[in-house]
Amino acid sequence: MAESIQHARIVVDKAFRIAEVDKRIYGSFIEHLGRAVYGGIYEKEHPTADSRGFRSDVKLLIQELGVPIIRYPGGNFVSGYNWEDGVGPVEQRPRKLELAWRTTEPNWVGTNEFAAWAKEIGSEVMMAVNLGTRGVDEARNLIEYCNHPGGSQWSDLRRQHGFEQPHRIKTWCLGNEMDGSWQIGQKTPAEYGRLAYETAKAMRLVDPDIELVSCGSSGSSMPTFPEWEAITLDYTYEVADFVSLHQYYGNRDNDTPNYLARSMDMDHFIRTVIATCDYIKAKKRSKKTMYLSFDEWNVWYHSNDADSRIDPWGIAPPQLEDIYNFEDALLVGSMLITFLKHADRVKMACLAQLVNVIAPIMTEEGGRVWRQTIYYPYLHASRFGRGVSLNPIIESPVYDAKDYTDVPYLDSAVVYDEESETLTLFAVNRHLEDSLALTCDVRGFEGYGVTEHIVLQSDDLKAVNSADQERVKPHSGGDASLQDGYVQALIPKASWNVVRLAKTKA
């Protein structure tokens, strides 16, 4: 079919303020799973390994991404983890059967190594506690170990382990996916609610300055969603600051128009969780607003078959090594846009995960590090999506897909950085054949000019990157221009775009 051009319009104004973007929506996740830790961030024998065994080449890419917060140590892993196994002299740490992913955990990396690594690369830690096999006692001991300055059993043990200063970890997850049948120590909502409440109480007694995340559903398709949220929040509303959301998508039936509309499902999921939180708020006559931590999100489906062939009980086998294609990057872009549109309630989000395991960064053992296709929208959003999220008024042609109606071809979010006087428009064109001629009314931004129009596109929706070849990478050759208060830009078919404006005249 011949390519044609359709038209779309956006109006942006400083007054259309949603909220300040919390930079923590650009967070990520490292779980003791597959080659995320061993062979990912940590590889003692690697030529770039630092004195603690962490790969410097990987650190550099994470720093390039500017990841403000990293969730650790799981995931499903945390529900069977004894944190005490991962501290103290490495040679004395036990090897454990790891039941979530059926591997052997050598405990070469634990709480102290991870916290020191995160600090070095400029990321905060979002620490999860085990509410699967354990509970109040281990959580209060762990927080004492991490955050108490000294003079008590667990804080002095940390000092004895070579970490004189407390890690001061602020953000803590009360368990992981406790609604899931696959979770070790799965709970009913009432069991979880009580346990999470009591754990939160004890943790706050040790350190009143922490922030806590109450465990939400493992995904919007869980049969217990959103009843799980309603029941558990009834217990945890006043002790938690966030409720978690998790969601992964895939294009198993190779229906790309439907796949690219999945961010509408994510939007609906977020709205439903907000509604549920606000219902509990009303029920409790509470003044407090519950925020959302979308602490697992990504595309995940490419590796499913390969994983079923991996033998159990290996150390760091190549699990969940999805190789992402170009269309995955478009959906990841739309998911990031969705967070920006909900900047008033979604205050944290973690791309799951960061290295090797469903990740933007991949490594070769003893060799190179490379960027997957999804690396780029994540990089752009993290780098340019800081400031105030503005609500763009969008007029776009729409289409119907298998599961969605009236899907706008143009998906967009806008961020205004008051300090640097820059305006960034993120845009995905979901149309697979037609470009969009975009007119964006920015008359409220007098004296501004276009500084860059970054485009990520490929003629092949299934194009992937590898260590040898980066087939999908952005260029700055977009044609956006600004005249008389209107940006004109061609948003190519099936593309991710970043149009950047800055004040050039007083």
Catalytic machinery residues: 177, 296
Q: Does 65 bind ligand AHR (CB under 6 A)?
A: no
Q: Least distance (Å) from ligand AHR to the CB of residue 367?
A: 25
Stretch that binds ligand AHR, among 73-81, 83-91, 114-122, 149-157 (CB under 6 A): 73-81
Structural tokens at position 335: 């998911």
Q: Which stretch binds ligand AHR (CB under 6 A): 69-77, 225-233, 257-265, 491-499?
A: 69-77
Site string for ligand AHR, 278-307 (x = CB under 6 A): ------------------x-----------
Listed in sequence order, the DSSP H helices in 66-216 are 111-121, 136-147, 153-160, 189-206
Closest to 142 measured CA to CA, from 123, 121, 115, 117: 115
CB of 173 to ligand AHR, least distance (A): 10
Query: Restricting to residues 165-224, which ones interact with ligand AHR according to CB under 6 A?
Result: 176-177, 218
Is residue 356 part of the contact set for ligand AHR (CB under 6 A)? no
- How far is residue 217's CA from residue 228's CA, in Å, rounded to a whole number? 7
Is 75 one of the binding residues for ligand AHR (CB under 6 A)?
Answer: yes
Given candidates 22, 31, 43, 434, which one binds ligand AHR under the rule CB under 6 A? 31
Distance between CA atoms of 359 and 343, rounded to whole angstroms? 24
- By CB under 6 A, how many residues form the interface with ligand AHR? 10
The answer to whether 112 and 162 are in contact (CB under 8 A) is yes
Choice between 195 and 410, CB closer to ligand AHR:
195
- Between 177 and 241, CB nearer to ligand AHR: 177
**Judged by CB under 6 A, does residue 352 bind ligand AHR?**
yes
Among 276, 353, 356, 457, binds ligand AHR (CB under 6 A): 353
* CA nearest neighbour of 455 among 380, 344, 387, 392: 380
Nearest distance, CB of residue 183 and ligand AHR, angstroms: 8
Longest dimension (CA), the chain: 74
By CB under 6 A, residue 76 contacts ligand AHR = yes
Backbone angles phi, psi at 122, to 5 degrees: 85, 25
Residue 74 makes contact with ligand AHR by CB under 6 A: yes
Q: Which is nearer to ligand AHR, 28 or 465 (CB)?
A: 28
Task: Please tell me whether residue 98 binds ligand AHR under the rule CB under 6 A.
Answer: no
**CB 134 → ligand AHR: shortest distance, Å?**
17
CB 25 within 8 A of CB 453: no
Region binding ligand AHR by CB under 6 A among candidate stretches 68-76, 333-341, 436-444, 496-504: 68-76
> Phi/psi of residue 420, each to 5°?
-90, 0
What is the distance between the alpha carbons of residues 200 and 16, in angstroms, rounded to a whole number? 37
CA distance 130 to 141: 12
Q: Which listed range, 71-79, 255-263, 422-430, 447-455, lies at the site for ligand AHR (CB under 6 A)?
A: 71-79
> Nearest approach, Cβ of 353 to ligand AHR (angstroms)?
6
Q: Which of residues 381-410 bind ligand AHR (CB under 6 A)?
A: none
- Least separation in angstroms between CB 48 and ligand AHR: 26
Residues with Cβ within 8 Å of residue 354, at least 6 apart in sequence: 28, 29, 30, 36, 40, 41, 62, 67, 70, 360, 361
Q: How far is the CB of 36 from ligand AHR (least distance, A)?
A: 9
Query: CA–CA separation, 207 vs 148, rounded Å?
Result: 8
Nearest-10 crossing angle of helices 262-283, 326-341: 30
Of the pair 82, 488, the CB lying nearest ligand AHR is at 82
Q: In this structure, which amino acid lies at residue 141? A: N
| 325 in contact with ligand AHR (CB under 6 A) | no
User: What is the distance between the alpha carbons of residues 352 and 350, in angstroms, rounded to a whole number?
Assistant: 6
Closest approach of Cβ 246 to ligand AHR, in Å? 6
SS3 content of the chain, % helix, strand, coil (to 5): 30, 25, 45
Closest CA to 136 of 97, 194, 72: 194
Q: Which stretch binds ligand AHR (CB under 6 A): 51-59, 70-78, 105-113, 495-503?
A: 70-78
* Cross-strand bridge partners of residue 127: 72, 172
Looking at residue 226, the DSSP 8-state letter turns out to be T
Query: Which of 111, 116, 86, 112 lies closest to 98 in space, CA to CA?
Result: 86
147 binds ligand AHR (CB under 6 A): no
* Residues numbered 231-260 forming contacts with ligand AHR, rule: CB under 6 A: none
Q: Which residues bind ligand AHR (CB under 6 A)?
A: 31, 74-76, 176-177, 218, 296, 352-353
